[in-house]
Structure 1
Amino acid sequence: MTKKAMVLTVAGTAIGALAGYIYYLEIGCLSGSCAITSDPLNSSLYGGFMGGLLVNTFTKSPKK
């Protein structure tokens, strides 16, 4: 993995975590029965994971 790909993946993870937290604040689950959106930590972790995966799918691997 190149340095550029690592930086992009970390940035995608950070943006995803922020988006997950904002989703918790704005939409969230009031009843507490939702596994992901009822807790800000779970929502942020899930958002970060999805953001990292999304950005990582568009990075090219170096050719040998």
Structure 2
Amino acid sequence: MNKREIIITFIGVVVGLISGYAYYYYVGCVSGTCSITSKPLNSTLYGGVLGGLLFNMISDFFKKKQS
């Protein structure tokens, strides 16, 4: 991975963290039985992982398309 890909993945993680917490805050799980959305830490970390993976996948797609 070069520097550009690392920065794009990091931005994806940050966007995912914010999105994960926003999902917990606005949607969440009232009963507490949902494993991901019942606690803000779980939802935030899950969002960060998904954001990093998504942005990394998009970065790889555009890199292959340019070659």
Normalized against structure 1, the TM-score is what?
0.91
Q: Going by fraction, where is helix more abundant, 1 or 2?
A: 2
Unmatched tracts of structure 2, length 5 or more: none
Q: Distance in 2 between matches of 1:14 and 1:59?
A: 16
What is the percentage of aligned positions where both structures have the same residue?
48
Equivalent residue letter for 2:58: F
Higher mean alpha-carbon deviation, 53-62 vs 23-32, is at 53-62
- Give 1:18-33 correspondences, 5 Å limit: 18-33=18-33
Q: How far apart are 1:59 and its partner, in Å?
A: 1.7
Find the counterpart in structure 1 of residue 54 from structure 2. Answer: 54
Q: TM-score, with normalisation over the residues of structure 2? A: 0.87
1:13 equivalent in alignment to 2:22: no
Aligned residues: 62
User: In 1, distance between residues paired with 2:36 and 2:5?
Assistant: 28
Unaligned runs of 5+ in 1: none
CA distances 1:12-64 after superposition (whole Å, capped 9, x unpaired):
001001000000000000100000000000000000000000000022369xx
